[in-house]
């Protein structure tokens, strides 16, 4: 088991390197002059700017720049933010935490709803319920994420029940821990709900499709022929057999969720990686841009790794190969 995980983790690390190289290559080959557009914070003196440029090899060829960045990352800085005059990590890490605060609950809730519902939907007998399911999920799927985010914001504004945007209220820091957590929870409610709506339907449809396919196998018919009760057939036999494609879907759903989170964070002013990325793009803050992309990739790889673990746990055929 450890060997299997180690192999997958090594693979992930390799991919991470590949992504970082890709980012630098893109930056290198893009037309137009990125560097000249860098908006530098007015608090930095020109000498500091010059030092920084030299330190990070911004005027040097690509391999040098990349190497300097690697060294800086090993130090924990991940490059330097010119717009804010601070190592990039100080900006990235708190934002990363905030994004996770939204993404992880949304992921859990989506899957916890989608799996039982999808299995049941696969086992429905009535054609009418089927049509309703297909039609309903199709329509929800067709709603652009932007619209969902805006609607969530609208609900907050119109009803006044939910806080409008932001992560915490102004005086949150002063309150005790319990009140702080509650305040946080209120703020999280709408963004998480929006994210769940955005990703739930896709997962739901895939669960139903995978389980449907499994239900057509000979072993399901054989199990039915042995008189097993319906509930056991669906959840004890069909679902485990469908686990393999579903777990592959897990990695995909993490990717989708991260992408949706970007939008929701921007629209609802949640201080996550999304708004930071946008800002740094407009400010041409190179290292923050690269850092933000790398962070999101790390999350995705972590999600895939989790999926690999789950696959190992659920599919004996994988255990044999590993």
Partner 1 sequence: MSSGDLGLPKPEPLLRVSALSVDYNAAAGNVVHALRNLDLEIASGESIGVLGESGSGKSSLALALLRLLPKNARLVSGSIAYRGRNVAELSPADLRAMRGAEVALISQEPALALNPVLSLGQQLADVLRAHGKLTRLEVNARCTEILRQVGFEDPERILRAYPHELSGGQRQRVAIAQALICGPKLLIADEPLSALDAATQADILDLLQRLKRDLGLAMLFITHNAGALEALADNIIVMRDGEAVARGSMDKLQATTDDYVQGILFPEKSLATHTVSSIESGAALLEVRGLSKRFVQKRMLSRKEFVVQSLDGIDLSLSAGSTVAVLGRSGSGKSTLARCVAGFETPDAGEILLEGNPIATAEKNERGARPPVQMIFQDAATSLNPRFTARQIVAEPLEIARWKTDADRTARTLKLMEEVGLDPDWAARLAGEFSGGQRHRLALARALAAEPRLLVMDEALSGLDMPLQAQMVRLLIDLQSRHGLTYLYISHDLNFISLFAQEVVVMDAGQIVERTTPEKLGQSVHPATRELVEAAERLHAPGVEAAV
Partner 2 sequence: MNRQSSLSRRDPPLRSGFFTRFRLSWAIWFLVGVHAVVVLAGFIAPYSFETQEREHPFAPPTRLHFVDCAGKFHFRPFVYVTKAAENALDQYQQDCSQPAGIEFFPKGDRYTILGTFSSTRHLFGVPAPTNLFLMGTDGFGRDQFSRLLYGGQVSLFAGFVAAAFSAFTGLLLGGIAGMYGGRVDDVAMRFAEIFITIPWFYLLIAVRAFLPLQISPVTAFLLVVSVIGIVGWSRPARLVRGVILSARERNFVLAARGFGASNAYLLRRHLMPLTFRVLLTQMAVLIPQFILAEVILSFLGLGIGEPFPSWGNMLAQAQQYHVLVSYWWMLLPGLAPVPVFLAYHSLAETLQERIKSNF
Nearest Cα neighbor of 81 from 73, 93, 89 is: 89
Write out the two tokens for 285.
């803050």
Nearer to partner 1, 7 or 97 (CB): 7
- Helix, strand or coil, per DSSP, at residue 87: strand
Determine how β-strand 80-81 pairs with β-strand 86-87. antiparallel
Nearest Cα neighbor of 172 from 157, 188, 160 is: 188
The reply on whether position 267 binds partner 2 by CB under 8 A is yes
Using CB under 8 A, which residues numbered 279 to 318 contact partner 2?
281-282, 289-290, 292-293, 296-297, 299-301
Q: How many residues bind partner 2 (CB under 8 A)?
A: 66
CA atoms within 13 A on the CB side of 93: 10
The entry of partner 2, partner 1, none that residue 317 binds, CB within 5 to 8 Å by partner kind: partner 1
**Could you say which of 125, 226, 317, 320 contacts partner 2 (CB under 8 A)?**
125
Question: Stretches 44-52, 53-61, 227-235, 245-253: which one binds partner 1 (CB under 8 A)?
Answer: 227-235
Instruction: Measure CA 21 to chain center.
Output: 21
String of contacts with partner 2 for each residue 194-213, x by CB under 8 A: ------------------x-
The entry of partner 1, partner 2, none that residue 23 binds, CB within 5 to 8 Å by partner kind: partner 2
Where does residue 113 rank: exposed (0-12), middle (13-18), buried (19+ CB within 10 A)?
A: middle
Nearer to partner 2, 113 or 150 (CB): 150
| Residues at the interface with partner 1 (CB under 8 A) | 7, 217-229, 232, 236-237, 240-241, 243-244, 314-317, 320
């Amino acid at each position: 088991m450890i060997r299997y995980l180690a192999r997958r983790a090594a693979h992930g690390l390799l991919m991470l390197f590949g992504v970082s190289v890709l980012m630098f290559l893109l930056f290198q080959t893009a037309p137009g002059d990125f560097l000249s557009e860098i908006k530098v914070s007015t608090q930095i003196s020109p000498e500091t700017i010059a030092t920084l440029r030299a330190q990070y090899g911004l005027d040097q060829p690509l391999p040098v720049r990349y190497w300097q960045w690697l060294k800086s990352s090993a130090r924990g800085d991940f490059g330097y933010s010119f717009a804010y005059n601070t190592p990039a990590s100080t900006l990235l890490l708190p934002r990363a935490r905030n994004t996770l605060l939204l993404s992880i609950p949304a992921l859990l809730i989506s899957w916890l709803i989608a799996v039982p519902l999808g299995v049941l939907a696969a086992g429905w007998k009535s054609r009418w319920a089927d049509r309703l399911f297909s039609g309903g999920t199709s329509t929800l799927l067709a709603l652009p994420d932007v619209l969902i985010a805006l609607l969530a914001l609208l609900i907050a504004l119109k009803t006044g029940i939910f806080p409008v945007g932001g992560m915490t209220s102004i005086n949150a820091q002063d309150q005790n821990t319990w009140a702080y957590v509650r305040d946080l929870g209120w703020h999280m409610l709408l963004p998480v709900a929006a994210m769940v709506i955005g990703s739930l339907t896709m997962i739901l449809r895939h669960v139903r499709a995978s389980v449907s396919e499994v239900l057509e196998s000979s072993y399901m018919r054989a199990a039915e022929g042995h008189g097993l009760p319906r509930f056991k057939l669906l959840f004890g036999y069909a679902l485990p057999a469908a686990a393999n494609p579903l777990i592959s879907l897990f990695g995909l759903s993490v990717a989708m969720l991260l992408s949706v989170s970007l939008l929701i964070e921007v629209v609802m002013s949640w201080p996550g990686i999304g708004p930071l990325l946008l800002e740094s793009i407009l400010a041409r803050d190179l290292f923050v841009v690269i850092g933000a992309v790398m962070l999101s990739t790390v999350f995705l790889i972590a999600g895939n790794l989790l999926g690999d673990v789950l696959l190992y746990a659920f599919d004996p055929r994988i255990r044999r190969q590993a």
